[in-house]
């Protein structure tokens, strides 16, 4: 079973990562219903990769600060069954997509009063499927939505001009977008697929 990557910090330029592997079905270790484990798409047919991204992005609507998003509120608004992941000291929900199309995982962390909510997409780990990626959120389309909500956009690029991330800020809130190397068609033309979208505090 492939491991799902959980980010342990949304504030760093390149977040530290901890791999959380679900217990295999043959294990003698019992997994509590309150502890994170990898889910299959068939268990949550309504929570497609696209729908999951939409629900995370909808958290931004009307949001003034992360104080308004305790864990219980995030679960209520998104419908994600977030469970505690001890390896990352956070709450998570992850789905392996059908047809070997990769993963998405949602994480929520509240440490010392600083909260973030994040969705991360990843393609299959097998090298023969390196061209496969769950392209469901377009960076340009999301940027236009955030700008319409009053967010100011800044882009971080590397020394050869490649985009590392887009950061959107409004008051005490920040929305961080990390683009992938994949693209998708959209009403705006060809759009870059989003790999990571994080909603976080800016104070």
pLDDT of 126 strictly over 50: yes
pLDDT band at 2 (very low <50, low <70, confident <90, very high): very low
Report pLDDT for 161: 76
Question: Looking up tokens 């959120």, which residue turns up?
Answer: 137
Higher pLDDT among residues 115 and 22, named by residue: 115
pLDDT band at 49 (very low <50, low <70, confident <90, very high): very high
Q: Average pLDDT of 22-41?
A: 57
Residue % of the chain over a pLDDT of 90: 61
> Is residue 109 within 8 Å of 91, Cβ to Cβ?
yes
Q: Does this model's pTM top 0.85?
A: no
What DSSP element (H or E) covers 142? helix 139-148
Higher pLDDT among residues 59 and 88, named by residue: 59
Question: Nearest CA to 199 among 59, 100, 13?
Answer: 59
pLDDT of 43 strictly over 60: yes
**Apex CA 74: angle with CA 199 and CA 67, to 5°?**
65
> Is residue 7 within 8 Å of 17, Cβ to Cβ?
yes
Q: How far apart are CA 6 and CA 105, in angstroms?
A: 8
Q: How far apart are CA 119 and CA 52, in angstroms?
A: 8
- Model confidence pLDDT, tens digit, residues 166-193: 999 999 999 999 999 899 888 778 899 9
């Amino acid at each position: 079973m492939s491991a799902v990557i959980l980010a342990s910090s949304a504030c760093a330029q390149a977040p530290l990562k901890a791999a959380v592997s679900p217990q295999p079905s043959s294990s003698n270790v019992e997994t509590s219903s309150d502890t994170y484990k990898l889910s299959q798409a068939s268990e949550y047919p309504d929570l497609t990769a696209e729908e999951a991204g939409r629900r995370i992005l909808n958290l931004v609507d009307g949001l003034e600060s992360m104080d308004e998003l305790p864990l219980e509120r995030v679960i209520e608004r998104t419908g994600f069954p977030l469970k505690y992941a001890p390896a990352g000291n956070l709450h998570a929900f992850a789905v392996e997509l059908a047809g070997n199309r990769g993963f998405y995982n949602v994480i929520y962390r509240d440490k010392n009063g600083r909260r973030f909510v994040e969705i991360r997409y990843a393609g299959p780990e097998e090298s023969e499927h390196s061209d496969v990626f769950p392209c469901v959120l377009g960076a340009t389309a999301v940027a236009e939505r955030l700008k319409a909500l009053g967010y100011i956009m800044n882009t971080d690029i590397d020394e050869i001009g490649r985009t590392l991330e887009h950061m959107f800020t409004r008051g005490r809130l920040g929305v961080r977008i990390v683009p992938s190397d994949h693209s998708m068609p959209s009403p705006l033309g060809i759009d870059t697929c989003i790999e990571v979208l994080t909603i976080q505090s800016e104070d």
